[in-house]
């Protein structure tokens, strides 16, 4: 709810005024149990920081995050540590987060011991084998080191480690972006199978609309620290409303080549979140920009059940100065 994560800028060498990078600037959404919410947007739009802020891997500046009825934002560290096993994260590069000096079985046993500190070695070993089988890795490779696996296999190890503590929520931050396209689908399918089997809820972050489309039930589109549109997948692809969403969609190849569609080319780069444009942050790149867009920040508005958009083109009556 209205989550904000600002990072202070260091004072420049020549004494430029310091300020803040508003990486996440008032983000609100709900995550339903058992669903996959995809967050899509260009790099630097605050997707990763949103995911990390929710888990308090970075400290939010303001707002509220409730998980199963408990407020996480001001939760004492001790309680947060207990909660952590319910919320796991999978990274783009699992290799960077896997200890290269430990075998896969040791890495997984370490994670398992968090949930079951009393377990003896034989029981742990048994559970490691079960985990490996669950993520489609050969249990006979349990005593190999991370570098002995391929990228896709390493992501399977990262997933095994995340599910070892029996989480309810997994934040997946670009988990397939570093993998070959043929391997991407395998990992996405594995995540979907595990979701069904274990009743997991996913917050799935990606810059790739094709990947987001494959995995998501609902999709949130982020631009410069804010969600500009959020709705279920079918609706978003059938009827994207926000001009930024429309531009993103127009770059996705259509299944039927006879169905011509206009490619909307976005001019310019994403502006700096340290110095965002006034009003609607998208206005310098928007072909529908009106005078009000430069002055007034559009509020998030429900245009239909479970379809929110933040743009002055919709709900003109409710504009507020």
Q: Which residues bind Mg ion (CB under 5 A)?
A: 48
Any contact of residue 221 with ligand SF4 (CB under 6 A)?
Answer: no
Among 273, 282, 307, 308, binds ligand SF4 (CB under 6 A): 282
User: Which of ligand SF4, Mg ion, none sits in contact with 154, Cβ below 5 to 8 A by type?
Assistant: none
Q: Are 56 and 222 in contact (CB under 8 A)?
A: no
Judged by beta carbon, residue 261 or residue 294, the one nearer ligand SF4 is 294
Among 58, 252, 264, 289, binds ligand SF4 (CB under 6 A): 289
Any contact of residue 298 with ligand SF4 (CB under 6 A)?
Answer: yes
Judged by beta carbon, residue 48 or residue 245, the one nearer Mg ion is 48
Note the maximum CA span of the chain.
69
User: Which of ligand SF4, Mg ion, none sits in contact with 48, Cβ below 5 to 8 A by type?
Assistant: Mg ion
DSSP 28: -
| C-alpha of 221 from chain center | 11
- Sign, CA torsion 153/154/155/156: positive
Of 56, 52, 44, 46, nearest in space to 26 by CA: 46
Among 23, 55, 164, 311, binds ligand SF4 (CB under 6 A): 311
β-strands 169-173, 226-232 pairing: unpaired
Stretch near ligand SF4 under the rule CB under 6 A, chosen from 89-97, 138-146, 190-198, 310-318: 310-318
Beta strands (DSSP E) in 72-168 are 87-90
Beta strands (DSSP E) in 169-278 are 169-173, 201-206, 218-223, 226-232
Q: Which residues bind ligand SF4 (CB under 6 A)?
A: 242-243, 280, 282-283, 286, 288-290, 293, 298, 311-313
């Amino acid at each position: 709810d209205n989550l904000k994560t600002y990072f202070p800028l260091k004072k420049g060498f020549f004494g430029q005024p310091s300020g803040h990078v508003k990486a996440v600037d008032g983000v609100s959404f709900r995550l339903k149990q058992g669903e996959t919410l995809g967050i899509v947007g260009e790099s630097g739009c605050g997707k990763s920081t949103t995911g990390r802020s929710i888990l308090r891997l970075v400290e939010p500046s303001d707002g509220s995050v409730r998980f199963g009825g408990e407020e996480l934002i001001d939760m004492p560290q001790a309680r947060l540590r207990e909660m952590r096993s319910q919320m796991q994260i999978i990274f783009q590069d699992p290799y960077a987060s896997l200890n290269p000096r430990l075998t896969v079985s040791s890495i997984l046993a370490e994670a398992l011991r968090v949930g079951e500190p009393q377990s003896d070695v034989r029981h742990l070993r048994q559970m490691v084998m079960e985990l490996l089988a669950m993520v489609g890795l050969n249990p006979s490779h349990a005593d190999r080191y991370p570098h002995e696996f391929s990228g896709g296999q390493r992501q399977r190890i990262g997933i095994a480690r995340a599910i070892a503590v029996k989480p309810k929520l997994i934040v997946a931050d670009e988990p397939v972006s570093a993998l070959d396209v043929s391997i991407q689908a395998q990992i996405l399918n594995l995540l979907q199978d595990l979701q069904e089997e274990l009743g997991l809820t996913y917050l799935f972050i990606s810059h790739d609309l094709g990947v987001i489309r494959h995995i998501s039930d609902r999709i949130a589109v982020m631009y410069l620290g804010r969600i500009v549109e959020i709705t279920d997948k079918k609706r978003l692809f059938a009827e994207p409303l926000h001009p930024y969403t429309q531009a993103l969609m127009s770059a996705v190849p259509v299944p039927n080549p006879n169905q011509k569609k206009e490619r909307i080319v976005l001019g310019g780069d994403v502006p700096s979140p340290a110095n965002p444009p006034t009003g609607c942050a998208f206005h310098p790149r928007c072909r529908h920009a009106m005078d009000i867009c430069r002055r007034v920040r559009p509020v998030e508005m429900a245009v239909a059940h479970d379809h929110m958009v933040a743009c002055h083109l919709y709900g003109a009556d409710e504009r507020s100065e």
